[in-house]
Amino acid sequence: MAGTGPGALAAVRALREAGTDVVALVTGRPEAPLLPPRLRVPVLTSAAVAEVTGADGLSGVLVTGPGAAERRLDCDTLVLTGEGVPECELARLAGAALDPATRGPAVDTALRTALAGVFAAGDVLRGGGDAPGAAAEGRHAARAALRHLAGGGRPAGLLRLEAVAPLEWITPGLLPVPGEPPPRGRFTLSVSRRVERPVLLAEQDGRPLGRWPVPHTARPDRPLHLYGEPFAAADPLGGPVRVRIGRTPSPAGRSRG
């Protein structure tokens, strides 16, 4: 198995549940993904499949790792997965502004794009999302679309949210227009590496806006969420709101034995 992200984990799960012996999961990420104990398989991190071998059929693969180290694995099947990409071709062709981080349409908290009357949700916004989350976003977008059709719609917000590495992206990536409170919902964030005792921090033009401890370890295969109105203190006429992730200091005096 070669790949990363939710697609790779879903493929491992399907193969193991079908009784297939998975020789290894090869991922370019520096850390192994989070797998439940019953689905544990050998994981080769910071690695890539460089070559396949076999005359009449696949008999093995050559894996390269850190420092160009090589390792040959015997197998009869190679499954390739990749990062999900947004299904946003129609929105792109229509001229919707795209978020450079997610590569999907830029939307505000009502899931409005920069095109009047055009809304986006689920896999249109980002690839590899979960079905319950996409369904909830669809219902949210539908309510906003009904308000728009009833004459209560507004243009998408212009105040941008920017994710600072190791955060990869945040969506929605625009805040509402002035005078409109964010609807109930959530902001979803992705992180590129593991962070213990994470805390999310936001600032605008050097001014702190808030700090939100995360109740679990941040991992690339586990989205982070902010709920409610976390950026209500942002100045709608100010610069972009920058969101970053840090670590909560260990309690003073705790031993590390």
pLDDT in tens, 3-35: 877 778 888 888 888 889 999 999 888 888 777
Gap between the Cα atoms of 203 and 211, Å rounded: 9
Rounded Cα gap, residues 192 and 129, in angstroms: 16
Lowest mean pLDDT among 16-20, 85-89, 149-153, 160-164: 149-153
Distance CA 90, CA 104 (A): 11
Q: Answer whether 0.85 is exceeded by the pTM.
A: no
Neighbour tally for 232: CB within 10 Å: 11
Residue 137 pLDDT > 80:
yes
Question: pLDDT for 170-217, tens place per residue?
Answer: 988 888 765 554 545 678 899 988 899 999 999 999 999 999 999 999
